[in-house]
Homo-oligomer: A and B are copies of this chain.
Amino acid sequence: MTDESLKVDDSNESKKKLPKPTQERLIKLLSVLDQLEKENQKLITPKTTVTSAIIEHRTGWSRDTVRRDISLLDLQCGSSVGYNIAELKKAIQQKFNIGERIHNCCIVGLGRLGSALLYFEGFKETPFVMRAGFDSNVNRTEVLDSPFPLYPLSKMESVVKNEKIDFAVLAVPEGDAVETAERLAKCGIKGIVNYTMAVLNLPPYIRVENISIVDALQRVSVHVE
């Protein structure tokens, strides 16, 4: 897999061939640039630049890594005077089609965690828009307050189709996760953010990101004696 992901391809499909760590750093770099802009609102102009040294300081990635990652983008400006922040953001967004179109999303499972996300404000400046929430407990979908419609789980297939929902956030009880994910896959969902501990084995064209807190703590603890 490592060998495969290191292949370089200059065709239009090239973004799919970037090494995965580079992809993840570049996507994260967008957040870093956003954060820099927020902190320095009064200082930032369309000409403001950022150096690889500043990025190194903010992220811990070496400046060589930063320069190499950025060199894989279609960016005109050189790095000797730093990268123009606005251009750099645009180049990353173009590389990954970020922000070019809205992605409709849904939350499946409205227990403590799922319902905590109903009023999450972090989606505001992102291309992700929550369109629907689902729960098998009709009481919950009727009682919970939400800025977007909530439905019983039995309506999932029709709502996902009608609302053209691309991505689902899965926050159901662990025992229901595999079956619910398979139902989502059959609805034509393109990706799942999995808050549960369950291992989802879906067709390869459905991308899954596992972000259960226990998995994260286990990864964090692996290097600790």
Which residues on A are within 8 Å of B, measured CB to CB?
A: 1-2, 6, 15-16, 19, 21, 23-24, 27-28, 30-32, 35, 38, 57-60, 96-98, 103, 105, 112-113, 115-117, 119-120, 122-123, 126-128, 166-167, 169, 174-175, 190-193, 197-199, 201-202, 204, 207-225
Contact = CB atoms under 8 A, between A and B. Distances in A.
Given A166-B221, A215-B28, A58 B193 contact: no
A117 B113 contact: yes
Given A128-B217, A193-B216, 9 more contacts: A2-B2, A2-B6, A57-B201, A126-B217, A128-B214, A169-B213, A192-B220, A209-B216, A211-B213
A28 B214 contact: no
Interface of chain A, main secondary structure: mixed
Number of copies: 2
Contacts of A190: 220-221, 224
A201 B59 contact: yes
A210 B213 CA distance: 10
Report, nearest first, the 3 A-B pairs whose CB atoms are least far apart. Answer: A191-B220, A116-B116, A211-B211
Contacts of A211: 211, 213, 216
A204 to B, nearest CB: 7
Contacts of A192: 220
Given A122-B214, A126-B217, A225-B97, A21 B1 contact: yes
Contacts of A219: 23-24, 27, 207, 209
15 contacts: A16-B223, A27-B215, A35-B198, A35-B199, A58-B199, A96-B222, A97-B225, A103-B217, A113-B116, A166-B221, A167-B217, A167-B220, A169-B213, A191-B221, A207-B223
Given A166-B221, A221-B98, A60 B202 contact: yes
Contacts of A167: 217, 220-221
A57 B35 CA distance: 41
**Which one of A207, A212, A224 has the greatest number of beta carbons of chain B within 10 Å?**
A224
